[in-house]
Amino acid sequence: MAPRILTLANQKGGVGKTTTAINLATALAAIGEKVLIVDLDPQGNASTGLGIDRVNREVSSFDVLMGESTIAGAAVMTSVPNVAIVPSTLDLLGVEHAIGQEGDRAFRLRDAFRAASGFLIDGRPVTYVLIDCPPSLNLLTINALVAASAVLVPMQCEFFALEGLSQLLQTIEHIRSTLNPGLSIQGVVMTMFDKRNNLSEQVLQDVRSEMGQLVYDTVIPRNVRLSEAPSYGKPALLYDLKCAGSQAYLRLATEVIRRERQLVAA
Ligand code: ATP
Ligand code: MG
């Protein structure tokens, strides 16, 4: 069985893509999945947040895009049980320059996954891949969308949440109609919800009326533990399992799995 590949994309910065990648991966692993994160952001926040120091990133997602490494050759285990990562380096900033003129530039990551035979975590094949994208609809995000089975869109509960969404949806639709017909939208996850702030509730209602069933029931609260954890190189689920943020990501993981089963069955 090929793994399900979920791409976390939103060209808006700071909406919770990386926090969701790290904690959703950990939550999925906690309920029995074998999870590989691919860090496609030159900022490398997913790699740092999982405790992979820059000096230890000998082989990276850049090497995979260049065809110089397989996925298995670039993946390293993290300290989180059943979670591995293909780390990123600043080399990713040069990807456009390096392959922007190549005919297969949009297919590099997909082809690496097609070629990937047998990256094992604890002797078992990877069941979920989560791809963390940069805040841009650039060639890196395009590679992630072309490689994906489905997209997961984190949106921050703030006034401009819906701004830019139509551009993202257009990009997804364009990729579906050209490069990756199998691409679907897994869902929209609302992040940094502040129950003391009326605006958060208003934005949530607006997004639900715009996006309907695509919005997950689970809403990720604004929670300081989620923002503290990366400085310890840990997911919040390992830093403070009981905090509201960790508990929300566990609920999100069960929702994601339920939707994946529906998507696969459809
Ligand atoms: P970028 O576009 O720069 O890659 P991003 O979309 O990956 O950003 P994150 O890095 O996950 O967003 O989050 C942005 C900031 O908000 C970080 O400092 C993170 O710790 C914090 N943050 C994310 N989610 C929450 C939350 N639910 N509660 C509190 N802080 C959060
Ligand atoms: Mg990020």
Task: Annotate 53-75 with DSSP letters as a single string.
Answer: -GGG-SS-HHHHHTTSS-HHHH-
Q: What pLDDT shows up at residue 161?
A: 84
Mean pLDDT for back-to-back runs of 10 residues, the chain (266 residues): 94 97 98 97 97 92 97 95 97 96 96 83 94 97 98 94 90 97 96 94 94 97 97 96 98 96 82
Q: What pLDDT shows up at residue 173?
A: 97
Question: Residue whose CA is closest, atom 21 of ligand 1?
Answer: 227
CA distance 138 to 131: 14
- In three-state secondary structure terms, 240 is coil
Closest by CA to 64, choosing from 19, 23, 103, 99, is 99
> Does 41 contact ligand 1 (Cβ within 6 A)?
yes
**In this structure, are residues 161 and 204 in contact, taking their beta carbons and an 8 Å threshold?**
no
> Does 47 contact ligand 1 (Cβ within 6 A)?
no
Q: Where are the domains of the chain?
A: 4-265
> Does 191 contact ligand 1 (Cβ within 6 A)?
yes
Q: What pLDDT shows up at residue 118?
A: 67
Q: What pLDDT shows up at residue 97?
A: 96
Q: What pLDDT shows up at residue 266?
A: 75
CATH fold of the domain at 4-265: Rossmann fold (3.40.50)
- Return phi, psi of residue 205, to 5°: -65, -40
Q: What pLDDT shows up at residue 162?
A: 86
